[in-house]
Structure 1
Amino acid sequence: MRNLGNTKLWCHLSFVSGVQFTNKEIRESIPAKIFSFRELVQAVAKIANHNPDYSLFFRGQLKDYKLNSGSSSFYPTLFRSPGRSLSTRELEERYNKLEKCTNDLLIKLDELDIDSINKLKKFPELPWSILQHYEVCQTPLLDFTHSLRVAASFALNDAVDTANIFVFAFPYPNGTISYSTEEELLNVRLLSACPAEALRPHFQEGYLLGSFPSRVKRKQPFLDFGRRLIAKFEIPKKGFWNKDFHAIPKTALYPHNDEIEIICEKIKSKNGT
């Protein structure tokens, strides 16, 4: 994907200084502290207003993972290799496993007589998005959401003290799957990609994004979504939610009796992922 380069962006650092910053400065910065969900919504609204050319997406994480350079980093699972290099052979093995899991998923969905099966067969990124979202195997895609409440709930549900919300700037999506050749990005709207039998996407407002073209021979810096980071916030476990704005419980984010989840768990077990 293309980075935001030296473009000056209005971000979390701008609240104090009133000036704009580059993506590099944003990635190396300390998150701004936000103390309530209402405050977070207001902060993001201001960032969106100052950056109208981009559609904002969110990730909630316990930690701000950084490269040795000190820059926040967000690689898709297929390209992650903490503390070591990723060999070409290992990357190829991961792609092979992804292909096997994809074939297994399409076979299972075909057996269920899924309405959208032809579309899933035509665009490999669509079954990849299901495999990634249900955590079946490593893929070249990374989970995002359009919902701040979903992102904050994910971040804080397992937090002890604090967590992080990250804001990213992408092209505006269009349809089930959007390919931006200019930005070298693809964007899958999970709700449209998944069969109606999949419950989880209905509650998570999820999108899966990746670099385009989506298959590369080795890990490269252009695969890091930190290149699209526009803001980051630290939020507290205590006092963040109130009677007007409350967290989405895990039971809602991961609903029971999800038929696609059952299929994905079988594929995961079969392929040892």
Structure 2
Amino acid sequence: MRSLGNTKLWCHLSLKSGERNTNKEIRESDPAKILNFRELVQTVAKIANHNPDYSLFFRGQAKDYTLSSGTSSFYPTILRSPGRTLIKNELEERYETLEKCSNDLLAKLSELKIDNINKLKKFPELLWSILQHYEVCGTPLMDFTHSLRVAASFALNDATSSANIFVFAFPYPNGTISYSTEEELLNVRLLSACPAEALRPHFQEGYLLGSFPARVNRKQPYLDFGRRLIAKFEIQKKSFWSRDFNEIPNTALYPSDDKIEAICEKIKAKL
């Protein structure tokens, strides 16, 4: 994917300085501390207003994962190898697993006569998005959401004290699956990609993004989503939610009786 490069961006650092910063400066900076959900919404609204050329997407994480340089880093699951080098053979095996799981998923959806799966047969990225979202195997895609409430709930529900919200700048999506050749990005709108029987995506407002072209033969810095980071915040579990703005519980984010989850669990069990 293309980096935001040396473009000066209005970000979380601008709240105090009033100045714009580069993506490199943003990635190397400390997160801004946010007291509550209302403040987060108002702050992100300012960032969106000052960066109208981008559509903002969010991730909630328990911590800020950084490179040895202290730079925030976000690699898709198929490329992750904490503390060691990802060798070429291992990456090829992961892609083989992904292809096997994709074929298995499509076969099971067909067997159960799940409605409207023609697009899944044409675009492998749509199958990948389901496998990624249901955590079946590593894929070249990464989960994002358009909802700050969803991102904050993910970050804080299992946190002990604090967590992080990350804001990313991407091209505006324009369909079920958007390919941006200029930015070298693909964007899957999960609600449109998934069958109606998939309950989880409807409660998480999920999008899956990846580099385009999607398949690579080795891990490269240009595949790091940190290249699109525009802001980062630290939120405190104790003070963040209120009566007016409460969290989404895990029981809602991961609804029961999800037929697609049941299929994915069977595929995952084979691995």
Aligned to 1:249: 249
109-118 vs 8-17, greater mean Cα deviation: 109-118
Aligned to 1:258: 258
TM-score (structure 2 length as normaliser): 0.99
Identity %: 82
Aligned to 2:123: 123
Alpha-carbon separation, structure 1, partners of 2:25 and 2:38: 26
Kindly provide the CA deviation profile for residues 161-200 of structure 1, in whole angstroms up to 9, marking residues without a partner as x: 1000000000000110000000000000000000000000
Aligned to 2:231: 231
Aligned to 2:200: 200
Q: 1:130-149 residue pairs with structure 2 within 5 A? A: 130-149=130-149
Check if 1:4 corresponds to 2:4: yes
Q: How far is the alpha carbon of 1:9 from its aligned partner?
A: 0.2
Structure 2, unpaired ranges of 5+: none
Check if 1:168 corresponds to 2:172: no
Aligned to 1:14: 14
Q: 1:4-153 residue pairs with structure 2 within 5 A? A: 4-153=4-153
Q: How far is the alpha carbon of 1:143 from its aligned partner?
A: 0.1
Structure 1 ranges of 4+ moved more than 3 A:
none
Give 3-state SS (helix, strand or coil) of 2:165's partner.
strand
Check if 1:212 corresponds to 2:205: no
Q: How far is the alpha carbon of 1:254 from its aligned partner?
A: 0.1
Give 3-state SS (helix, strand or coil) of 2:239's partner.
coil
Give 3-state SS (helix, strand or coil) of 1:66's partner.
coil
Alpha-carbon separation, structure 2, partners of 1:69 and 1:109: 44
Q: How far is the alpha carbon of 1:156 from its aligned partner?
A: 0.2
Alpha-carbon separation, structure 2, partners of 1:215 and 1:254: 29
Aligned to 1:178: 178
Q: Structure 2: which amino acid aligns with 1:22?
A: T
* Count of residue pairs the alignment pairs up: 271
TM-score (structure 1 length as normaliser): 0.99
Q: How far is the alpha carbon of 1:118 from its aligned partner?
A: 1.5
Alpha-carbon separation, structure 2, partners of 1:63 and 1:98: 27
Alpha-carbon separation, structure 1, partners of 2:239 and 2:216: 44
Alpha-carbon separation, structure 2, partners of 1:209 and 1:116: 22
Alpha-carbon separation, structure 2, partners of 1:67 and 1:183: 23
